[in-house]
C-alpha cells in the first residue's frame, strides 16, 4: 500500500487522510520530497513561468468588521483613504508599461452605488489606455450579481474572493454575527455564473484551526472547481480582537511559514492546473518566503504598484515588506529572486489559469480548449 507521500509523487488522487498526513509532515527529507513533487507537477503541466499581477490597493475603507483584519470597520487607528480614479488607473497602467500582464484592484469591502460606479469607470479607462492588453483581476469583496456582471462587462476578467475558512463553525468564530459564510459561498457561485476566472483562498494557522480544517479547506476549493488560489499564513494585527488569541506568534513564525508552504504544495498536487499565488504573507515571515512558495509549486506573485504611504495604510497585518520601495525597485529585485528558483517571469503574458478553460468546457459540454 502506497504512503500519502508516494501517492503525491506518483500524481495519484489524494483523499482527506492523505492531505492530513502531508500537512503533518515535519521539516526534513519527507517535506522536501513533497515540495519537489509539487514543483515537478507544476513544471510538467504549466511550465516554469511565474505570472505577475500588479497590485493596486485602492482603498482601505471597509464596511466589514472581521475579527482578524487590520482594516476592519471598527479599527479607528487606521487612517482611511480612497485613491482618486486617476491614481487607480495610473497604478494599473504603470503595471502594464512595466511589462506585467495583469493587475489586481483590491480594496476593503464596499457595495454602495458610488463605489460600484467608480469601479466601472476605472475599468473602462484601464481597458482603453492599455488597449485591452492588461488582464484585470478584482478583489473587492461580496457584491450583488448585478454588480459582478457590470464589472465583468466593463473589462474585469478575474475575481478573487477568499472564503477564509471552509468550515462554517470556525468561520463564525472569526467574524461578527452579521457576517454570513453562506452568503460568501454564494458570491463565489455568482462569480462563476458571471463568467469570471474565479479565485478563493484561506488563512493557515488560525487560532483553533487544525490540519483537519486545512485538509477540508483544500477539498472545498477542489469541489468548488476554483481556478485560482490565494492563501497564506495568518499574521495577527495587534489592533484586532483575534490577535489576543495568538500571544506566542513570534515563537511560531517558522512553523507558520512551513505550514503555508505545505498548503501550497498540497494544493498544487490536488489541483494541478490552477494558478496559485506565493503571497506577501510568506515574505513577511521570511525575506525569501515568496521564493520558497515558488519552490513549493506556486506560479503567481503580486508585486505592489503603490507608493510607501499607501502601502503602509493598507495594514491588513503588521510587518509587510517592501513598504518603502518603488514598483521598479521591487520588480528588479523580484526578477532576480524568481530566477534563483529556476523559474522565469512571464512578461506581457496575462497567465490565465488553465483550469478555467477546462471548467468552461465542462460546463458548456465543449472539449477543453486549453
137-146, 151-160, 316-325, 359-368: least confidently modelled range: 359-368
Q: How far apart are CA 354 and CA 45, in angstroms?
A: 9
Run of H or E residues at 52: strand 49-59
Q: How far apart are CA 369 and CA 3, in angstroms?
A: 35
Strand partners, 228: 199, 275
> HSE (CB half, 13 Å, CA atoms) of 293?
33
User: What single string gives the DSSP state of each residue in 56-109?
Assistant: EEEE---S---TT-TT-TT-TTS---B--HHHHHHHHHHHHHTT-SEEEEEES-
Q: State the average pLDDT for the chain.
A: 94
Shortest CA distance to 4 belongs to which of 16, 21, 27? Answer: 21
Q: How far apart are the first and last CA of the chain?
A: 35
The per-residue pLDDT for 86 is 97
User: Does residue 75 contact residue 331 with C-beta atoms inside 8 Å?
Assistant: no
Fold of 19-364: TIM Barrel (3.20.20)
Task: Tell me: pLDDT of 322 over 80.
Answer: no
Confidence class for position 306, pLDDT limits 50, 70, 90: confident
Shortest CA distance to 355 belongs to which of 266, 263, 270? Answer: 270
Cell numbers found for residue 49: 513561468
Cell numbers found for residue 289: 518566503
| Domain coordinates in residue numbering, the chain | 19-364
Residue 305 phi, psi dihedral angles, 5° rounding: -95, 5
CB atoms within 10 A of CB 352: 19
pLDDT exceeding 90 applies to what percent of the chain?
88
**Kind of pairing, strands 197-200 and 344-345?**
unpaired
| Segment 91-117, tens digit of pLDDT | 999 999 999 999 999 999 999 999 999
Q: How far apart are CA 147 and CA 168, in angstroms?
A: 25
Q: How far apart are CA 226 and CA 200, in angstroms?
A: 7
120-134, 141-155, 236-250, 295-309: least confidently modelled range: 295-309
Is residue 327 classed exposed, middle or buried when 0-12, 13-18 and 19+ CB atoms within 10 A define those classes? buried
Confidence class for position 144, pLDDT limits 50, 70, 90: very high
| Segment 251-305, tens digit of pLDDT | 999 999 999 999 999 999 999 999 999 999 999 999 999 999 999 999 999 999 8
The per-residue pLDDT for 321 is 67
Amino acid at each position: 500500500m502506497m504512503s500519502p507521500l508516494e501517492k503525491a509523487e506518483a500524481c495519484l488522487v489524494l483523499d482527506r487522510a492523505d492531505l492530513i498526513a502531508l500537512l503533518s509532515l515535519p521539516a526534513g527529507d519527507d517535506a522536501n520530497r513533497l515540495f519537489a513533487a509539487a514543483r515537478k507537477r507544476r513544471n510538467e503541466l504549466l511550465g516554469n513561468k511565474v505570472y505577475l499581477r500588479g497590485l493596486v490597493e485602492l482603498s482601505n475603507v471597509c464596511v466589514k468588521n472581521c475579527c482578524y483584519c487590520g482594516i476592519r470597520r471598527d479599527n479607528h487607528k487606521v487612517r482611511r483613504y480612497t485613491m482618486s480614479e486617476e491614481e487607480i488607473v495610473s497604478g494599473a497602467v504603470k503595471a502594464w508599461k512595466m511589462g506585467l500582464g495583469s493587475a489586481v484592484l483590491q480594496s476593503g469591502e464596499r457595495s454602495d452605488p458610488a463605489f460600484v460606479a467608480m469601479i466601472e469607470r476605472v475599468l473602462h479607462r484601464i481597458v482603453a489606455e492599455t488597449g485591452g492588453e492588461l488582464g484585470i483581476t478584482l478583489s473587492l469583496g461580496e457584491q450583488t450579481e448585478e454588480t459582478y456582471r457590470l464589472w465583468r462587462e466593463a473589462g474585469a476578467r478575474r475575481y478573487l474572493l477568499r472564503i477564509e475558512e471552509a468550515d462554517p463553525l470556525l468561520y463564525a468564530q472569526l467574524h461578527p454575527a452579521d457576517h454570513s459564510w453562506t452568503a460568501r459561498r454564494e458570491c463565489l457561485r455568482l462569480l462563476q455564473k458571471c463568467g469570471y476566472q474565479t479565485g478563493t483562498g484561506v488563512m493557515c494557522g488560525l487560532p483553533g484551526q487544525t490540519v483537519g480544517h486545512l485538509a477540508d479547506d483544500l477539498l472545498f476549493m477542489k469541489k468548488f472547481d476554483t481556478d485560482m488560489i490565494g492563501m497564506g499564513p495568518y499574521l495577527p494585527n495587534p489592533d484586532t480582537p483575534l490577535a489576543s488569541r495568538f500571544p506566542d506568534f513570534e515563537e511560531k513564525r517558522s512553523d507558520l511559514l512551513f505550514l503555508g508552504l505545505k498548503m501550497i504544495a498540497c494544493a498544487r498536487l490536488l489541483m494541478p492546473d490552477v494558478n496559485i499565488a506565493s503571497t506577501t504573507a510568506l515574505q513577511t515571515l521570511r525575506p525569501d518566503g515568496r521564493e520558497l512558495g515558488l519552490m513549493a509549486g506556486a506560479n503567481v506573485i503580486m508585486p505592489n504598484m503603490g507608493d510607501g504611504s499607501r502601502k503602509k495604510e493598507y495594514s491588513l497585518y503588521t510587518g509587510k515588506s517592501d513598504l518603502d520601495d518603488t514598483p521598479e525597485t521591487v520588480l528588479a529585485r523580484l526578477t532576480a529572486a524568481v530566477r534563483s528558483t529556476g523559474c522565469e517571469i512571464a512578461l506581457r503574458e496575462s497567465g490565465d489559469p488553465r483550469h478555467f478553460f477546462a471548467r468552461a468546457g465542462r460546463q458548456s459540454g465543449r472539449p477543453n480548449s486549453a
